Structure 1
Amino acid sequence: MIQRIRISILIRIYERILHKDAMKLKIEKYRLHGAKIGENVRAFSPILSSESYMISIGNNVTISTGVKFCTHDNSAIKVFENGTDFVGQIVVGDNSFIGMNVILGGGVQLPAQCIVGAGSVVTKSFFEEGCVIAGNPARVIGNVENLKRRYTDNVFNFRGMNAEQKKKEILRNPEKLIRK
């Protein structure tokens, strides 16, 4: 418990005073809560639930903002006289991307190289590596190879850029902007 508090204080110091990326500290905090998290994970949402030990994240995974990990469902209390909850593990495979405001339900397993579209509600497992899923409930809408072919002329590389450099790069290349 004290170690969790110390890490929380360090995260605030890194972000608010030093203006540095505290991602590694945040990941360590989630591990202390019991989540199993691989290497090189970028999480912009807390990898937490009431049962954080039921969450397993692979290597090289990015989790966007607003993502919810729902490892339990208390609706069982309304159906079963002698039961209160359904509980299930959440597993995210290596090299996956979880979009903004996704909800991952208990018992869900996602394969390697999976992309989950923003706002999706994932209520079942998917097993095809490289699938792109989206919707409510989430379903397969494509695969990574097709996505790569479709948007190859639209990709930017912002590694190492600050916000001003990123803005200049975008404004210099309007032909790269996606249009739907």
Structure 2
Amino acid sequence: MIKSKSDYNDYINKDKVALGVKSSSLESKLINFISPNPIWTFQKSLRKLEYYTNCKNTGINKIYCYYLRYKFKKISIKLGFSIPINVFGPGLSIVHYGTIVVNSASSIGANCRMHAGVNIGASGGKKEAPQLGDNIYIAPGAKIYGNIKIANNCAIGANAVVHKSFEEEGIMIAGNPAKKIKAIDIRKIIKHIQ
């Protein structure tokens, strides 16, 4: 969770690396100005809203926070994302825009790479939602729900239905219902992590 200006800068820089955004050259700045990446725009908006909500939500900044919420809601609807603040750790990489629904009680660690059609939510009217570790890859169409935990360095396959915990690190989870398929090296899937 972003708790300071340095946290905010760290999250932005790690998200930028995860998305492969290059913003240092004049050419890339010009391209980004003419045709901005909508997912990067969304993620910058998400992080800015998290920073102002967590750190600067008093006085005149409270009015600015309402404006940021409005902007964030507008771009979320445009891209089909229902992603609340303070859920994802640094290094978030949303690969494509399209329907993505995440419960606000969920917690996802650093370096999550996620595709369209993903649903992470509670089950049966309960408040508890999935808790995912660091370095998680979520393929298109995966459904993850209930009071479950997924260990670090795991990949969840396309259209998997995950409704139970997987405590073993470094595995591929797939199927309906989901089960362990094999051991994996997550660095081959999420390329930017060391």
TM-score tier, shorter chain, comes to: 0.5 to 0.7
Q: How many equivalent pairs are there?
A: 124
Q: Specify the alignment match of 2:164 in structure 1.
A: 124
**Which whole-Å deviations, capped at 9, do the CAs of 1:83-113 have from their partners, x for residues lacking one?**
xx23322111111101100001121211110
2:173 pairs with 1:133: yes
Question: Is the contact made by 1:110 and 1:125 (CA closer than 8 Å) also made in structure 2?
Answer: yes
| In structure 1, distance between residues paired with 2:123 and 2:49 | 18
SS at match of 1:22: helix
SS at match of 2:102: coil
2:93 pairs with 1:42: yes
Q: Specify the alignment match of 1:88 in structure 2.
A: 128
Measured after TM superposition, the shift of residue 64 of structure 1 is 1.1
1:28 to 47, 65, 70: 47
Structure whose residues are more often strand by fraction: 1
* Percent of residue pairs bearing the same amino acid type: 27
SS at match of 2:107: strand
Measured after TM superposition, the shift of residue 26 of structure 1 is 5.4
Match for 1:48: what amino acid?
Answer: V
Q: 1:34 to 1:106 in 2, by over 3 A?
A: farther
Q: 1:118 to 1:88 in 2, by over 3 A?
A: same
After the TM superposition, which parts of structure 1 deviate over 6 Å for at least 4 consecutive aligned residues?
A: none
Tell which structure's C-alpha radius of gyration is larger: 1
1:97 to 126, 137, 140: 137
Match for 1:135: what amino acid?
Answer: G
2:122 pairs with 1:71: yes
Measured after TM superposition, the shift of residue 71 of structure 1 is 1.4
Q: CA RMSD in A?
A: 3.2
Measured after TM superposition, the shift of residue 119 of structure 1 is 0.3
Q: TM-score, normalised by structure 1?
A: 0.57
Name which structure has the greater RCO, CA cutoff 8 Å, separation 6+. Answer: 2
SS at match of 1:72: coil
Measured after TM superposition, the shift of residue 123 of structure 1 is 0.8
Q: Specify the alignment match of 1:174 in structure 2.
A: none
Unaligned stretches of 5+ residues in structure 1:
1-14, 74-84, 160-180
Q: 1:55 to 1:105 in 2, by over 3 A?
A: same
**Which whole-Å deviations, capped at 9, do the CAs of 1:126-158 have from their partners, x for residues lacking one?**
01100111000000010114x98xxx8xx9x8x
Q: Specify the alignment match of 1:79 in structure 2.
A: none
Q: TM-score, normalised by structure 2?
A: 0.54
Match for 1:19: what amino acid?
Answer: P
Match for 1:28: what amino acid?
Answer: R
Unaligned stretches of 5+ residues in structure 2:
1-31, 54-83
| In structure 1, distance between residues paired with 2:138 and 2:127 | 21
Question: Is the contact made by 1:27 and 1:37 (CA closer than 8 Å) also made in structure 2?
Answer: no
